[in-house]
Amino acid sequence: MASSVNKLDDFLRPLAIDTTLVLQLAKELTSTFKTLSQESEDQFLPTPISEPILRHVAQSDSGRGGTNLRVGFVELIDNATQNRKTNGLRSPENGANGHVKGNRPLPDRLRLLLERSEPIGNHLKNEEAESLFKWIGKIIAEVVRNGTDTLGLPPDVDLPMGVTFSFPMQQRSLSQATLMHMGKGFAITSKLDLGEHLLKGYDSNWTPDLPRIKIAAISNDSVATLVSHIYQFPARPDQKAVMGLIVGTGCNATIPMRLSSLREDKRPESVSVLPGQEKDDFRIAVNTEWSIKGSAPPLRDLGLISSWDTELSDAAEKPGFQPLEYMTAGRYLGELARLIFLDYMKNILRYDLEKLPRKLRERFGLTTTFISHFYPSSEKGPMLDQLRGEFGQKDGSGFAWTQGHAEALHRIAKAIEVRAAGIVAASTLALLVCAEELPAWDPPSSPTIEEGQHRELVVGWTGGCIQYFQTYLQDCQTFLDTVLSLEYNGKSPIRVVLSPCHDGGIKGAGILVPAALASQSI
């Protein structure tokens, strides 16, 4: 038994990661991110809205806006209304594990109304752009019709709409966007005007009893998550909501960065700002697209890209396109576990792969959802029962699952998750240093925090992968804490805290509508 454990330990060594390695990776990624912000054409993409606009709408605005992908109405509730409903009580503080400390729930600063969620089928992903956007326009029109009937929307007044799309885009202004390569199984690769296609899709389903729509704001889903987080998080004076993080099907992050951190030809032609705001070196929301290939060199240099990662990448729709995403996000981690498990069964336990269950030998035959809940004392039941239920107890070859197989798969899933948590933590810290929210690395001494400065930097996260895959969220928070403690000899003056920001994409799009309407362009 001890021998098999030792063999598994040695086998999984390419996935090993610890606090020291995460700190090294954070420092290397800081340099890489700074270079990408200046040089990359498909990473660190600005969204033309200034940070003061985001902070302003978080303080006072209210109203309604529509949004798409998931389609619905977002009602914003101003502070005065919220305080009346909560009798002026401050909301409790969020814990790092995603739960609220204390018994009182966080007060809602917005509501989703008449929401409709529709999966985008593979047949739509594989068709031309016009077919996809005509279908999207049909869903929007059906929700708008419900809104006219339920909310009393006048059909003769244009309805402003906020749009969130989870793909890289280039933006000349807040209401205009050109989609770049889409990925994630979509066949559309040519650059297209997102707003124009959405309007055409809606117009093809429009009838005279419906209002026309106008595009008020467009953003990437990670930008929308940041917007939603800033609006909803009840920050204390020593806290600041600084960043939006997505770890779901994909992995991405957004943070406000100075205009000067972007090369001149990447800066938007116009930026939405507060009336009267001067055009200085203000911060602008930046969609990092940090999972794209430009982030790979530090991962490779530090030995974090294993042969299994390379095998997964080589079989992807775009080999090498999103190496960080292949190692951290829900679309791929189940497949990574399958490749590693098959390797273990063949080369360590010496099974003939042809005798293993067919489903396990098929691409994506092992899902991230399955291994997310695959651990001792899981609510899904004993691991061996789960394994038998997923792949069959035995087949004609005489193969049968054992407890040893189940424990090995759990160890593989856990190793994948811990490495993913370390990579996301390192990327988060690197981005915060690039945005000047954290001090530069290797300080001569622990910096002091003056009165009124932020002692907690709060990162709003969303996504089922970080929430449900083993202990991804807790491990990511632990790495954030231990890396800063290591860097500052146990005396870090600042803590980075993960806080939930569920449904950030649809909520952020709605929040951007009044922000856009209250802004001016410079």
Q: For the segment 176-231, what is each residue's pLDDT rounded down to a tens digit?
A: 888 776 555 555 656 788 888 889 999 999 999 999 998 888 877 887 788 788 87
> What value does the mean pLDDT of the chain take?
83
**Lowest-pLDDT range of 87-101, 218-232, 239-253, 467-481:** 87-101
d(CA 141, CA 138): 5
Portion of the chain with pLDDT greater than 70, in percent: 79
d(CA 454, CA 367): 40
Q: Report which listed range, 21-25, 45-49, 83-87, 156-160, is most confident.
A: 21-25
Query: Can you give the pLDDT at residue 522?
Result: 52
Q: Which residues contact 203 (CB under 8 A, 6 or more apart)?
A: 137
Query: Can you give the pLDDT at residue 92?
Result: 33
Q: Which residues contact 432 (CB under 8 A, 6 or more apart)?
A: 242, 243, 255, 438, 457, 496
Q: Which residues contact 89 (CB under 8 A, 6 or more apart)?
A: 104
Summarised one tens digit per residue, pLDDT across range 365-407 is 999 999 999 999 999 999 999 999 999 876 656 789 999 999 9
Query: Can you give the pLDDT at residue 93?
Result: 38
Query: Can you give the pLDDT at residue 125?
Result: 59
Could you tell me the two tokens for 425? 């933590």
What are the chain's domains? Answer: 2-39+293-418 (3.40.367.20), 47-233+502-516 (3.30.420.40)
Q: Can you tell me the mean pLDDT for 29-35?
A: 97
| Amino acid at site 145 | R
Res. 65: pLDDT tops 50: no
Phi, psi of 395, deg, nearest 5: -135, -170
Query: Can you give the pLDDT at residue 97?
Result: 35
Residues in the chain: 522
d(CA 88, CA 82): 8
Summarised one tens digit per residue, pLDDT across range 92-142 is 333 333 333 333 334 466 777 888 887 776 656 566 778 888 888 998 999
d(CA 367, CA 355): 21
| Amino acid at site 349 | L
pLDDT band at 276, cuts 50/70/90?
Answer: low
Q: Can you tell me the mean pLDDT for 73-78?
A: 75
d(CA 166, CA 222): 8
Q: Which of 154, 106, 202, 138 is nearest to 500 (CA)?
A: 106
Q: Can you tell me the mean pLDDT for 484-492?
A: 92
Q: Reduced to 3 states, what is the DSSP secondary structure of residue 16?
A: coil
Stated as kind and residue range, the H or E segment containing 186 is: none
Query: Can you give the pLDDT at residue 103?
Result: 32
Rg (C-alpha) for the chain, rounded Å, is 24
Neighbours of 272 (CB within 10 A): 27
pTM, two decimal places = 0.78
Query: Can you give the pLDDT at residue 53?
Result: 65
Summarised one tens digit per residue, pLDDT across range 428-454 is 999 999 999 999 998 656 566 665 566
pLDDT band at 37, cuts 50/70/90?
Answer: very high
Portion of the chain with pLDDT greater than 90, in percent: 50
What secondary structure, in 3-state letters, does 93-137 show? CECCCCCECCCCCCCCCEEEEEEEECCCCHHHHCCCHHHHHHHHH
Query: Can you give the pLDDT at residue 89?
Result: 31
Query: Can you give the pLDDT at residue 519?
Result: 59
Summarised one tens digit per residue, pLDDT across range 142-180 is 999 999 999 888 999 999 888 877 777 887 777 888 877
Q: Which residues contact 188 (CB under 8 A, 6 or more apart)?
A: 128, 129, 132, 179, 182
Phi, psi of 52, deg, nearest 5: -60, -35
pLDDT band at 245, cuts 50/70/90?
Answer: very high
Could you tell me the two tokens for 286? 């930046």
Query: Can you give the pLDDT at residue 87?
Result: 37
Summarised one tens digit per residue, pLDDT across range 493-513 is 899 999 998 876 777 777 777
